[in-house]
Structure 1
Amino acid sequence: MANAKSPVEVVKEIWNSEVMDEEKWAQNSKALRAVGLFAVSVLLMRNFGDLMAI
């Protein structure tokens, strides 16, 4: 256990590698936008889907 890292340090490393790197952040933001759009569309269809029926 010579190099045991605290959970806070692990989260900081992940944050710096995924968010602060511009190339990775570009991909992550596209994925985040797609997941958000999907979630909103599911919620809209669940709540207002009967109004869209013909």
Structure 2
Amino acid sequence: MADSAISIENLKDFVYSQFQDEEKWATNAKLLRAVGLFAGSIFLMRNFGDLMAI
């Protein structure tokens, strides 16, 4: 059980470091924006793709 607590602390430290470092946050923000755009385009094409058909 102690191993899981240590791994949770390591995970918290990793996430905190990703948010606090400016360079890492800039890269993560670009990645989040790209994933959001990709997921949004999939959502739109699945729901409204038939309207775009010729």
* Shorter-chain TM band: 0.7 to 0.9
- TM-score, length of structure 2 as denominator length: 0.81
Q: CA RMSD in A?
A: 1.4
Correspondence for 2:18:
18
Identity within the alignment, %: 61
Q: Which digits, 9 at most, give the CA deviation of each residue in 1:32-51, with x for residues without a partner? A: 00000000000100110000
Whether 1:41 and 2:41 are equivalent positions in the alignment is: yes
Greater share of residues in helix: 2
- TM-score, length of structure 1 as denominator length: 0.81
Structure 2 unmatched ranges of 5 or more: none
Structure 1 unmatched ranges of 5 or more: none
